[in-house]
Amino acid sequence: MKKKILITGSNGQLGNCLSASLSNYFDVIPSLKNTTIGSLKLDITDKLNVKYIIDRIKPDIIINCAAITDVDLCEKNRAQARNVNFIGLKNLVKYSKKHTKLIHISTDYVFDGLKGNYNEKDPTIPLNFYGKTKLEAENFLIGSNRKILILRLNGLFSSKLKNKNFFSFVYKSINANRKISIVDDQISNPVLVELMPEVIMKAILLDTTGVVHYGSSNVISRYDFAKQICMVFKLNALLIEKISSDKLNQLAKRPLKTSLDTSKIESILEINTYDTNFCLELIKTKYILK
């Protein structure tokens, strides 16, 4: 019988992609924070809602993609950020059965960004409140004595321009002939969302547990990534101004070098990572941008 997988945050860029693609292999039940026609409502901060849905669905696996991902919003509205990013995950653990596996999506922002190329054993020192809430959730899961997989990802981008991410911001701005200022001191290995279903499918089939990192095979600054987007999509790179993070006056402090070492996941799942140029070419050739 197919494994039953409950996905939270199915309206988000990752949750949406996993909900669509994993249903080829598993019995997937997507869920949304707010009710829409034909959808399952699951607000992970609402204990009664969580208990009711989990009792009804009886999932073998829960993939938690629900989160407040706006880093500055997390800084400003700390109670809301902690409620979703930590308490929500705690509710999923509390109201699910012991045999239910929890796959939790986490982030490079649990690191301080001083070193870069972080592996799974490196010490976690989040610089902002978003990172702190994500780390609190990780630590709770690790101490929960449950079957868990924590998948730490770097900045996500996807072929869907409606999604809010760095790629869609650069593409839409330059396409509309707007000048943008992009930092050259934030460096990471960003992830194409559309590659994630295969990674998670393999992790489920091989019953991978613990903490693992996934990212692109190259490490790139936001500025160079923006230029790469222009090159691949034949957009005007002259509209990009290079700046440093301190010029942005962002509410939440950003860790600067947060690339993730992917060698563990590559060896245990026997998967490849791909460079950002390849991922952009894939978007260009395989998907219709909208």
- For β-strands 4-8 and 27-30, DSSP reports them as parallel
Q: Which is nearer to ligand NAP, 110 or 232 (CB)?
A: 110
Structure tokens, 116: 């870069």
Q: Which residues lie closer than 8 Å to 140 by C-beta, 6 or more apart?
A: 86, 89, 90, 93
Question: Closest distance between ligand NAP and the C-beta of residue 86, in Å?
Answer: 11
Q: Which residues lie closer than 8 Å to 238 by C-beta, 6 or more apart?
A: none
Structure tokens, 138: 């990780």
Question: Closest distance between ligand NAP and the C-beta of residue 51, in Å?
Answer: 14
Structure tokens, 37: 């026609």
Residue 261 Cα to chain centre, angstroms: 16
Q: Which is nearer to ligand NAP, 213 or 227 (CB)?
A: 213
- What are the helix and strand counts (H, E) for the chain? 11, 12
Question: Closest distance between ligand NAP and the C-beta of residue 182, in Å?
Answer: 15
- For β-strands 101-107 and 27-30, DSSP reports them as unpaired
| Residue of closest CB approach to ligand NAP | 12
Question: Closest distance between ligand NAP and the C-beta of residue 79, in Å?
Answer: 13
Question: Closest distance between ligand NAP and the C-beta of residue 269, in Å?
Answer: 18
Q: Which is nearer to ligand NAP, 15 or 116 (CB)?
A: 15
Q: Which is nearer to ligand NAP, 8 or 100 (CB)?
A: 8
Question: Closest distance between ligand NAP and the C-beta of residue 252, in Å?
Answer: 13
Q: Which helix (H) or strand (E) holds 48?
A: helix 47-57
Q: What is the contact surface with ligand NAP in residues (CB under 6 A)?
A: 8-9, 11-15, 33-34, 42-45, 65-69, 84, 88, 105, 107, 134, 153, 155-156, 165
Q: Which is nearer to ligand NAP, 45 or 77 (CB)?
A: 45
Q: Which is nearer to ligand NAP, 33 or 227 (CB)?
A: 33
Q: Which is nearer to ligand NAP, 28 or 105 (CB)?
A: 105
Per DSSP, the residues of 186-252 read -EE--EEGGGHHHHHHHHHHTT--EEEEE--SS-EEHHHHHHHHHHHHT--GGGEEEE-GGGT--SS
What separation in angstroms does the CA of 286 have from each of 5, 15, 157, 278, 280? 27, 20, 15, 12, 10
Q: Which is nearer to ligand NAP, 165 or 216 (CB)?
A: 165
* DSSP 8-state code for residue 118: B
Instruction: With H, G, I as helix, E, B as strand and everything else as coil, classify residue 40.
Output: coil
